[in-house]
């Protein structure tokens, strides 16, 4: 969906998805720090209007903001004022609407005010970057809702076209040709990685495979690439659940960072 604009200078992108769960369960996932950690990235949220919000983006740094709307379990909003150097403030509003069959509609809107199109590419990047995480959210709410979670994440930035990086990533894992519904086991990896393929997506800017993990433990793996022009980011993110998830994630991440570095011939940081 293209960026929407009006005569005041407001520009926005909006996304909508259907997820399983009650409004209270969905709210926990999309408006609390432990909830975001379970399907997106480690986060902390001071749960009140004016409270601080922080997303830990790993090697990409962090994003900080302030809660601007807090109406549980239906409306949540925040603003990020320093999300990009020189950029106007970015506002995010999320609404939860209950539907029959124990499901909810989640609507997310990113908006800012700008007199030029200087930030349009970044806003389009938000829209194309969320779908993979939304698939993790759906699976989390279906299978692991409310469980303690931790993230093991590794990424590599490669100066090469996205398709080339994708092929090298998937071939290196032994997941080439994976199709939804198959049980696959990754090979030549720092720890056992196997599970059921939930989704495979290949687009112009983003490609990913989503696994419902049985090894190294029950969880979710999001493996993919995101490309901008001739530069590409390759990432492997494991969402682990249970009381010992934090320990398992901390032990897992270094091996995957080394594996990506070796796969793409990068020097250690």
- CATH code, domain carrying 105: 3.30.530.20
Are 227 and 128 contained in the same domain? no
Are 94 and 186 contained in the same domain? no
Are 135 and 120 contained in the same domain? yes
pLDDT at 45: 98
Residue 1 forms part of a structural domain? no
Mean pLDDT of 76-94: 91
Last residue of a domain, one of 95, 118, 143: 143
Residue 3 forms part of a structural domain? no
119-134: per-residue pLDDT in tens?
888 777 777 788 899 9
pLDDT at 266: 66
Are 102 and 184 contained in the same domain? no
**With contact defined as beta carbons under 8 Å apart, do 94 and 83 qualify?**
no
Are 29 and 79 contained in the same domain? yes
Q: How confident is the model at residue 230 (pLDDT cuts 50, 70, 90)?
A: confident
**With contact defined as beta carbons under 8 Å apart, do 223 and 169 qualify?**
yes
Residue 155 forms part of a structural domain? yes
Higher-pLDDT residue of 84 and 94 is 94
Higher-pLDDT residue of 83 and 77 is 77
Residue 224 forms part of a structural domain? yes
126-170: per-residue pLDDT in tens?
777 888 999 999 999 999 999 999 999 999 999 999 999 999 999
Question: DSSP class of residue 174?
Answer: T
Mean pLDDT of 17-22: 97
- Dihedral sign from CA coordinates of 210, 215, 219, 222: negative
C-beta neighbour count of 146 within 10 angstroms: 15
Task: Specify the 3-state DSSP secondary structure of 36.
Answer: helix
CA distance 269 to 249: 20
Domain with 229 in it: 149-263
216 cis-preceded (ω within 30 degrees of 0) = yes
Q: What is the mean pLDDT of the chain?
A: 92
Residue 71 forms part of a structural domain? yes
Last residue of a domain, one of 143, 168, 194: 143
**With contact defined as beta carbons under 8 Å apart, do 199 and 121 qualify?**
no
Residue by residue, DSSP assigns 103-164 as EEEEEEEEEEE-SSSTTHHHHHHHHHHHHHHHHHHHHHHHHTTT--EEEEEEEEEESS-HHH
Crossing angle, helix 120-143 and helix 23-31, to 10 degrees? 130
Q: Is 5's pLDDT higher than 90?
A: no
CA distance 192 to 93: 39
Crossing angle, helix 245-263 and helix 162-173, to 10 degrees? 120
**With contact defined as beta carbons under 8 Å apart, do 149 and 34 qualify?**
yes
HSE (side-chain half, CA atoms, 13 Å) at 161? 5
Residue 31 forms part of a structural domain? yes
Residue 259 forms part of a structural domain? yes
pLDDT at 1: 55
108-117: per-residue pLDDT in tens?
999 998 877 8
Residue 268 forms part of a structural domain? no
Split into its structural domains, the chain has a count of: 2
Question: DSSP class of residue 5?
Answer: E
Are 120 and 223 contained in the same domain? no
Place of tokens 């059921």: 196
21-56: per-residue pLDDT in tens?
999 999 999 999 999 999 999 999 999 999 999 999
Last residue of a domain, one of 114, 143, 172: 143
Are 81 and 183 contained in the same domain? no
């Amino acid at each position: 969906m293209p960026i929407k604009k009006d005569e005041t200078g407001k520009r926005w992108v909006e996304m909508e998805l259907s997820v399983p769960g009650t409004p209270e369960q969905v709210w926990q996932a999309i408006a609390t720090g432990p909830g975001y950690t379970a399907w997106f990235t480690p986060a902390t949220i001071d749960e009140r209007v004016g409270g601080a919000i922080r997303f830990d983006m790993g090697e990409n740094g962090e994003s900080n903001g302030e809660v601007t709307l807090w109406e549980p379990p239906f409306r949540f909003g925040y603003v990020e004022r320093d999300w990009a150097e020189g950029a106007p403030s970015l506002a995010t509003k999320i609404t939860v609407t209950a539907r029959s069959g124990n499901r909810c509609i989640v609507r997310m809107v990113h908006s800012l005010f700008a007199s030029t199109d200087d930030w349009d590419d970044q806003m389009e990047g938000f829209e194309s970057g969320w779908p993979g995480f939304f698939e993790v959210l759906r699976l989390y709410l279906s299978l692991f809702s409310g469980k303690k979670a931790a993230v093991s994440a590794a990424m590599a930035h490669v100066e090469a076209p996205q398709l080339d990086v994708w092929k090298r990533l998937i071939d290196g894992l032994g997941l080439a040709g994976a199709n939804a519904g198959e049980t696959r086991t990754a090979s030549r990896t720092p720890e056992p990685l196997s599970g059921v393929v939930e989704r495979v997506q290949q687009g112009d800017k983003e490609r990913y495979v989503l696994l419902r993990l049985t090894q190294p433990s029950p969880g979710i793996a999001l493996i993919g690439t995101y490309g901008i022009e001739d530069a590409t980011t390759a990432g492997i993110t494991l969402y682990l659940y249970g009381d010992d998830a934090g320990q398992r994630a901390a032990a897992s991440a270094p091996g995957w960072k080394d594996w990506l570095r070796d796969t793409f011939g990068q020097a250690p940081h």
